Structure 1
């Protein structure tokens, strides 16, 4: 985990939607539409429903990018599939269909991989990373610098030399800084 969020290389899909780039939009449909269709058909929907949900999801992503400068920090596929899944579950609630889902194993076998669970996991990781970053910024500069070096996996002897402190001081200060960071994170309402 790093103290700054890095834009994922798949941001090109978001940029392609914003620019109405036909080649990128065709690639999105070619690569991802079939998975969404399988999920929706296996969960009380039709091919028409899948097409509608896919289009609504792309429109929602486009609007987020256009009005809120959406930046991807995860792969596009699980993000898109998560948006589609949520839109479909909301649609099912409106229609009051039962059952909402089939057996997990059956759905997963049809999708080929559990990208929907991966999307939810990525969302949770992103929330945790944002909380970490928010609390990290509350630390003093010295603590931020020590933790930054630690996250890079550098040897403590080298870090101590680079910071102009003794090895013993660095170890003690690092422990104090991490304890403070953990207290900040644990005291936050998101935790």
Structure 2
């Protein structure tokens, strides 16, 4: 079956040819996202820089020696590689058994591309959710934010100074409003 090579293959070609403009574009588009994700997940900015560099080197080696062909967008692809590398790094640091060895990490199969596509869909959904969330009233934002922290509902009710029954009813109303906004945004964008 013929692969559909993605237009972002130009990033791979740029890396292999050491094209400064393309490499700068990769940094502009992806480095910030990798940095926020890693710092949000117990890493430092230095960790993020190291992981990003390693991911670029891995992609470079795959492209140069194994003719890597992208079948999905570059950005979610490199983000996925960085996430896998960082999760491995966390496991190493906490002396837990590391599930992927270097070869597993570099094995770029169709599942990686599918995961990268999935990641891109999730990002699009997150943006939709955040846009909708911003349109909610302050009380709803507060209730949903608290509920998403994973606290027990009784604790959330106490923190917000309301009864457990009121919180459940209000949360369900807020979630219904949020879903309506998301659905109306989706139809607007189609």
Q: Is the 8 A contact 1:32 1:77 kept in 2?
A: no
Deviation at 1:167, TM superposition (A): 1.0
Alignment check: 8 A CA contact 2:80 2:116 kept:
no
Q: Tell me whether 1:182 sits opposite 2:179 in the alignment.
A: yes
The residue number in structure 2 matching 1:8 is 37
Off by >4 Å, runs of 4+ in structure 1: 10-13
Give unpaired runs (5+ residues) of structure 1: 44-56, 62-71, 80-109
Cα 1:128–1:135, aligned 2, differ >3 Å: closer, same or farther? same
Q: How does 1:81-92 map to 2 (within 5 A)?
A: none
State the aligned residue count: 122
Answer whether contact 1:135 1:185 (CA < 8 A) is retained: yes
What residue is the counterpart of 2:111 in the other structure? 114
- CA 1:131 to 1:185, structure 2 compared with 1: closer, same or farther past 3 Å? same
Report the equivalent of 1:33. 60
Is contact 2:128-2:182 (8 Å) kept? Answer: yes
The equivalent of 1:75 in structure 2 is 79
Q: Look up the match of 1:127.
A: 124
Larger radius of gyration: 1
Superposed CA RMSD: 3.8
Asked whether the 8 Å contact 1:160–1:166 carries over to 2, the reply is yes
Distance 2:160 2:181 in 1: 25
Tell me, in whole angstroms, the C-alpha distance in 2 between the residues paired with 1:190 and 1:125.
Answer: 16
Gaps of 5+ in 2: 1-32, 84-106
Cα deviation, residue 113, structure 1: 6.2
Q: Deviations over 1:42-79 (max 9, x none)?
A: 99xxxxxxxxxxxxx7xxx8xxxxxxxxxx9x836379
Which fold has the larger relative contact order, with Cα–Cα distance below 8 Å and residues 6 or more apart in sequence? 1
Contact 1:136 1:144 in 2 (8 A): yes
Taking the aligned partners of 2:138 and 2:55, their CA distance within structure 1 comes to 43
Task: Tell me if 1:137 matches 2:134.
Answer: yes
CA gap of 1:29–1:155, structure 2 versus 1, over 3 A, is: closer
